[in-house]
Structure 1
Amino acid sequence: MLITDDQFASCRTTVMDANPDMTATMAGRIVDEGIKFVAACSHNPGLGLAPSRIVDEGWHALILHTATYAELCERLGGTFVHHHPEYDPTNYDPSILDRSREKIGELGWEADPELWGPPSDETLVSVAAKCQHAPDCAIRPMPKPEPPNHP
């Protein structure tokens, strides 16, 4: 387990607060995908992964819980995954989402296919997040800083 049940519930509530008509089940699915995405980024620094707009909503909720997010990044090996918001749906690049889902799969999880669609796909759920990370703003995690070498 990467975050506690209480931390998960709090993040799920944040998603529901931002999206008042959303069910707890859907909000939980979105947080789950946000966690998977952060894990994929942490294990693949420099690859340039990006979430779907729906998954980004779960990532936002995690980030708003700063202590939970910092602990999550630390558990994943210390690579802090920074968020660089940008929204320009004309920059949508399906190959980045495909690569992100592939990296999630390599960690032993299945990416929820309903939540990884294009920015225009709101048939399943509409979210408040307006970020679309692709291709110029794909996420590139920063490695854990190394202590300086002193003679």
Structure 2
Amino acid sequence: MSTPTERPPGDTGPGLFPDSNPRNLLPAATYDSVVGTVLDSNPGMDVETARRITGEGIKFTVTAAMNPGLPMAPSRTVDEGWHALILHTAPYAALCAQFGEFVHHYPGYDPDNHDPDVMNRTVRAIGAAGFEVDTGLWRAPTDAGLVSVAANCAHSPCNNTPIQPMPTPQPLPSPRKD
């Protein structure tokens, strides 16, 4: 179980991070591996685009971990970077723990159920956390824009947040011996 990082109240503005470059929030080898996962899932994508997507996925994760009560969701393109990061389970869990709470993923895809207010709120929260937002990657799910990705899901359950407290796992009952 992760323990949220203690931060002074109201400490959410620019300057929160000594270096707001998301690339520096993961070990170099891990960052490169996440970029590689984005590339593997999207044949033909150039490395710079994969880096941009990875960076936004990291920014989204950190911001969501810091704001567990705030309904947030990534764009379909940023979701690709989030997926790649989640597949690196140990660094993903450590990143979440470093900045707050674990960010759970609730996949589902219905482009007609897109809520621009949730995405706009997410973009504002990322900026308020001190990150520069790559606005070209934050588009509606039906607008591929500059980037087409393999991810085919959107988020999240009815409260529009990828963060849900999960019950503590309990051991299964022992089989009965008759």
Aligned to 1:149: none
TM-score (norm 2): 0.76
Matched, 1:73 2:77: no
Instruction: Map Cα deviations across residues 71-106 of structure 1 (whole Å, 9 max, x no partner).
Output: 1112113x1000000101111011111000110011
Aligned to 1:12: 35
Aligned to 2:114: 92
Whether the 8 Å contact between 1:80 and 1:141 is mirrored in structure 2 is no
CA shift, 1:141, in A, is: 4.7
Structure 1 residue identity aligned to 2:144: E
Distance in 1 (CA, whole Å) between partners of 2:161 and 2:71 is: 5
Matched, 1:32 2:55: yes
TM-score (norm 1): 0.89
Distance in 2 (CA, whole Å) between partners of 1:125 and 1:116 is: 10
Aligned to 2:46: 23
Instruction: Map Cα deviations across residues 1-53 of structure 1 (whole Å, 9 max, x no partner).
Output: 32111111000000000001101100010010001001111111121100000
Structure 2 residue identity aligned to 1:138: T
Q: Unaligned stretches of 5+ in structure 2?
A: 1-23, 169-178
Identity of aligned residues (%): 50
Any runs of at least 4 consecutive aligned residues in structure 1 with deviations exceeding 4 A, and if so which? none
Matched, 1:42 2:73: no
Aligned to 2:143: 121
Q: Where does 1:100-111 land on structure 2 (aligned, <5 Å)?
A: 100-111=122-133
Aligned to 2:3: none
Q: Unaligned stretches of 5+ in structure 1?
A: 146-151
Structure with the largest fraction of helix: 1
CA shift, 1:68, in A, is: 1.3
Distance in 2 (CA, whole Å) between partners of 1:60 and 1:80 is: 14
- Root mean square deviation, CA, Å: 1.6
Count of aligned positions: 143
Aligned to 1:148: none
Distance in 2 (CA, whole Å) between partners of 1:43 and 1:74 is: 9
